[in-house]
């Protein structure tokens, strides 16, 4: 079988530590080219992964490389420019979250994909966790009834130490863009994408200046479900914490640890399937599953999961979260 050729634009931490190691392990996939504005990083990473074609920026790569598929892992402020250039060049793209800094930027990328008839997948890896996919199938089977409340949170150290990461004009935001956007995507996917009707958000700036390092939100959805969500780089804890709890009319389910409980008459029955994988393994597998899903989509074998269209709705909610915190009031969407 002929290998699918992919190029990677942007060689920061997520590309170095996650995407390139995973891409080299997927059968029938070949990383043929990379682009990075930092020359030393470009050569060091290209040498490490034995990639011969290396370019100073995305413009040069698109002019000279023959890869039909692009993975974009550049700073968020460059996403619009790089993504639209790739789409115009006839490339299908997988772009790291967030799709853009704002809804308006994301809409321009989405419109370009429609115009040039290309596929976009946005890197929302949490829904590709093996335990999250099992939880989704359990909910679809109606085991815990109709889900109506999700309580979730992710409290951990800052994901990147690069300077752009905590500059609002470059990153688009702080812990909301880093962690909460993934929780939001997972929650809405779990609930089958209800319309978000309103949001209340409070942001805190404990150790940062232009971006939030702690964020707490409450979202009301059109199907009478609601979502409570917290994310932080700065809360004082002895270890990182990730939790995702779903409450339904007939039971509950949770991730990390994975549990399923169903109410049968007056008894609570444990329906948790046996699972031996630890949290680190599940998180790592989410990225591998995400890549495999992307290649299945560009091959026409499966639909695009985590599409640009879905991401537009996420960005609409994210914009409302920032507006709510700024104005200190509930925002209707």
- Kindly report, residue by residue over 54-70, the tens digit of the pLDDT: 999 999 999 999 999 99
CA-based nearest residue to 69, from 31, 113, 27: 31
Distance separating alpha carbons of residues 84 and 79, to the nearest angstrom:
8
The token pair at 322 is 């920032």
108: enclosing H helix or E strand: helix 103-116
How large is the average pLDDT for residues 225-249? 96
Predicted pLDDT at 159: 83
Distance separating alpha carbons of residues 16 and 37, to the nearest angstrom:
15
pLDDT category of residue 162 using cuts at 50, 70 and 90: confident
Residues listed for the chain:
333
Q: Per residue in 86-125, pLDDT tens? A: 999 999 999 999 999 999 999 999 999 999 999 999 999 9
CA-based nearest residue to 294, from 3, 6, 1: 6
The token pair at 13 is 């931490």
274 vs 51, residue with greater confidence: 51
Contact 144, 250 (CB under 8 A): yes
Radius of gyration of the chain measured on its C-alpha atoms? 20
Distance separating alpha carbons of residues 93 and 311, to the nearest angstrom:
14
- Is the pLDDT reported for residue 1 higher than 70? no
Contact 5, 69 (CB under 8 A): yes
Domains and CATH numbers, the chain: 4-125 (3.40.50.720), 126-289+312-332 (3.30.360.10)
DSSP state of 19: I
CA-based nearest residue to 189, from 255, 109, 257, 263: 255
Tell me the backbone φ, ψ of residue 223, rounded to 5 degrees: -95, 20
Degrees (nearest 5) of the Cα angle 183, 111, 69?
A: 75
Predicted pLDDT at 166: 92
Sequence-separated (6 or more) residues with CB below 8 Å from residue 271: 138, 143, 251, 260, 261, 262
Degrees (nearest 5) of the Cα angle 152, 153, 154?
A: 145
Distance separating alpha carbons of residues 284 and 274, to the nearest angstrom:
19
Contact 231, 182 (CB under 8 A): no
Q: Which residues pair with 247 in a beta bridge?
A: 149, 252
Helix count (H) and strand count (E) of the chain? 12, 15
- Is the pLDDT reported for residue 20 higher than 90? yes
pLDDT category of residue 186 using cuts at 50, 70 and 90: very high
CA-based nearest residue to 31, from 18, 44, 43, 46: 46
Which has the minimum average pLDDT: 153-167, 175-189, 249-263? 153-167
Instruction: Count CB neighbours of 113 within 10 A.
Output: 21
With a pLDDT cut of 70, the percent of the chain lying above it is 99
Sequence-separated (6 or more) residues with CB below 8 Å from residue 244: 132, 150, 152, 183, 186, 187, 254, 255, 256
């Amino acid at each position: 079988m002929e290998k699918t050729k992919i190029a990677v634009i942007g060689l920061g931490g997520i590309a170095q530590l996650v995407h390139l190691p995973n891409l080299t392990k997927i059968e029938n996939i070949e990383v043929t080219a990379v682009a990075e504005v930092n020359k030393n990083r470009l050569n060091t990473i290209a040498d490490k992964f034995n990639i011969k074609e290396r370019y100073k920026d995305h413009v040069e790569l698109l002019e000279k490389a023959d890869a039909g598929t692009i993975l974009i892992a550049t700073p968020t402020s460059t996403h619009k420019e790089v993504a639209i250039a790739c789409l115009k060049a006839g490339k299908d793209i997988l772009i790291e979250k967030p799709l853009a800094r704002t809804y308006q930027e994301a809409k321009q990328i989405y419109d370009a994909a429609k115009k040039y008839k290309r596929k976009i997948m946005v890197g929302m890896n949490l829904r590709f966790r093996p335990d999250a996919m099992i939880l989704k199938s359990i909910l679809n089977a109606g085991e815990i009834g109709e889900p109506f409340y999700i309580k979730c949170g992710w409290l951990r150290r800052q994901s990147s130490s690069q300077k752009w990461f905590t500059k609002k004009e470059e990153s688009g935001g702080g812990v909301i863009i880093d962690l909460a956007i993934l929780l939001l995507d997972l929650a809405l996917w779990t609930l089958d994408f209800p319309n978000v009707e309103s949001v209340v958000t409070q942001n805190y700036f404990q150790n940062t200046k232009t971006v939030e390092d702690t964020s707490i939100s409450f979202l009301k959805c059109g199907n009478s479900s609601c979502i409570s969500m917290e994310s932080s780089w700065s809360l004082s804890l002895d270890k990182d914490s990730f939790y995702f709890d779903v409450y339904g009319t007939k039971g509950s389910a949770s991730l990390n640890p994975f549990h399923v409980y169903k109410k049968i008459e007056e008894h609570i029955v444990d329906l948790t399937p046996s699972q031996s994988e630890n949290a680190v393994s599940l998180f790592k597998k989410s990225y591998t599953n995400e890549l495999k899903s992307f290649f299945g989509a560009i091959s026409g074998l499966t639909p695009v999961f985590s599409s640009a269209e879905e991401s537009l709705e996420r960005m609409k909610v994210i914009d409302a979260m920032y507006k709510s915190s700024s104005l200190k009031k509930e925002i209707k969407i």
